[in-house]
């Protein structure tokens, strides 16, 4: 059994003494796990990260990080974790110097800092701007520097609050791959994102927070099975009255949509539907030009869990 590196019990938080923005969160995170926090704007993701990283104390509840209590051992915890915050903050000196300062803060020797800086400039594609003042960097470069400097020290848990915002596609993939490599070496990751494909790519377990409450917490596979709902089967059929065709198929009219020459059907049994449509099309001497079954995605799960309409168009 892997050990729990984070144990959060009944966290409640209010900023104004009236409204609870976190309302009784309980969860455990294991060593080496990639734990994704998902939820709409204002759901409470950043507040959760701030509590787990000891930036703020929760109004109620207990949190234990790597065996330390957030209320008593903030300093010990901060030595062992890394944090990339949602809002960038940066020292206004050269890129190299920024990294060097961080290395010093973490007590690295000059030699260690030099090696680490070279490695990180390469990984985060900052070699060309190494002498530039951070104030003159583009938004994406600044974000890369902000993430790179966190890796100046070794840590047990890394917290990332929407790390890929502002990064281009190539850099985003580089970062995700770099994170994956570190996870294979035992690093635990807690991160938030609005990019569901990113969560799919990285996360072992996903937590969906809505209005300060956990509404789902599970592996992606289990969430898809539980909340993924129906799958979409789409047919392209030319020169046939599709509403007539739809009437020939035994399915709830709410689950059928017609869009020009496309017949879109929501179903739990796509293969039965395909058979029925083929039969019906045969009867009217038509031809299916093309068909597509869309698998459940994390987006389907997300919309189902937070109770939004799942539009099939």
Ligand X SMILES: Nc1ncnc2c1ncn2[C@@H]1O[C@H](COP(=O)(O)OP(=O)(O)OP(=O)(O)O)[C@@H](O)[C@H]1O
Binding site for Mg ion (CB under 5 A): 45-46, 86
146 binds ligand X (CB under 6 A): no
208 binds ligand X (CB under 6 A): no
One of 6, 29, 43, 77 touching ligand X (CB under 6 A): 43
Q: Name the residue among 14, 37, 72 with its Cα closest to residue 206.
A: 37
Q: By C-beta, is 21 or 237 nearer to ligand X?
A: 21
In this chain, which stretch among 40-48, 146-154, 225-233, 238-246 interacts with ligand X, using CB under 6 A?
Answer: 40-48
In this chain, which stretch among 37-45, 144-152, 221-229, 290-298 interacts with ligand X, using CB under 6 A?
Answer: 37-45
* Contact map string, positions 69 to 98, toward ligand X, x by CB under 6 A: -----------------x------------
In this chain, which stretch among 34-42, 145-153, 232-240, 304-312 interacts with ligand X, using CB under 6 A?
Answer: 34-42
15 binds ligand X (CB under 6 A): yes
Residue nearest to Mg ion (CB): 46
Q: What whole-number distance in Å separates Cα of residue 276 and Cα of residue 58?
A: 56
21 binds ligand X (CB under 6 A): yes
Q: Name the residue among 156, 164, 238, 218 with its Cα closest to residue 194.
A: 164
Give least dist CB 160 to ligand X, A: 12
Q: Name the residue among 30, 35, 68 with its Cα closest to residue 49.
A: 35
Q: By C-beta, is 14 or 86 nearer to Mg ion?
A: 86
Which one of ligand X, Mg ion, none interacts with residue 108, CB within 5 to 8 A by kind? none
In this chain, which stretch among 38-46, 74-82, 117-125, 168-176 interacts with ligand X, using CB under 6 A?
Answer: 38-46
Q: Which long-range contacts (CB under 8 A, 24 or more apart) does 138-147 make?
A: 139/166, 140/166, 140/167, 140/168, 140/171, 142/88, 142/90, 143/88, 143/167, 144/171, 145/90, 145/95, 145/98, 145/99, 146/84, 146/88, 146/89, 146/90, 147/84, 147/175
Alpha helices (H) along the chain: 45-52, 74-79, 95-105, 110-123, 139-150, 169-184, 196-202, 220-227, 242-248, 270-283, 298-305
Q: Summarize as ranges the residues that interact with ligand X (CB under 6 A).
A: 15, 21, 39, 41-47, 86
């Amino acid at each position: 059994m892997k050990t729990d590196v984070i144990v959060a019990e009944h966290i409640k938080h209010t900023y104004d003494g009236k409204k609870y923005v976190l309302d009784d969160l309980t969860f455990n995170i294991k060593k080496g796990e990639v734990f994704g926090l998902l939820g709409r704007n204002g759901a409470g993701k950043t507040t959760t990260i701030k509590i787990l990283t000891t930036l703020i104390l929760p109004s109620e509840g207990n949190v234990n990080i790597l065996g330390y209590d957030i209320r008593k051992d903030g300093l010990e915890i901060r030595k062992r974790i890394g944090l990339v915050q949602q809002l960038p903050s940066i020292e206004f000196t050269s890129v190299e110097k920024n990294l060097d300062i961080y290395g010093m803060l973490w007590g690295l020797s000059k030699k260690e800092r030099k090696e680490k800086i070279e490695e990180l400039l390469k990984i985060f594609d900052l070699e060309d701007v190494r002498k530039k003042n951070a104030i003159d960097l583009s938004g994406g470069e600044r974000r890369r520097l902000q993430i790179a400097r966190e890796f100046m020290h070794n840590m047990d848990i890394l917290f990332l609050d929407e790390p890929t915002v502002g990064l281009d596609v190539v850099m985003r993939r580089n970062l995700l791959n770099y994170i994956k490599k570190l996870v294979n070496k035992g690093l635990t990751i807690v991160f938030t994102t609005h990019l569901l494909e990113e969560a799919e790519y990285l996360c072992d377990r996903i937590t969906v927070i809505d209005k300060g409450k956990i509404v789902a917490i599970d592996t992606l596979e289990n969430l898809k099975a539980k909340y993924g709902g129906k799958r979409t089967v789409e047919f392209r059929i030319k020169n046939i009255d599709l509403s007539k065709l739809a009437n020939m198929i035994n399915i709830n009219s709410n689950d059928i949509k017609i869009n020009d020459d496309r017949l879109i059907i929501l179903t739990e049994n796509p293969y039965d539907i395909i058979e029925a449509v083929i039969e019906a099309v045969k009867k009217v001497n038509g031809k299916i030009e093309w068909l597509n079954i869309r698998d459940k995605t994390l987006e389907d799960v997300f919309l189902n869990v937070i109770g939004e309409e799942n539009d099939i168009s």
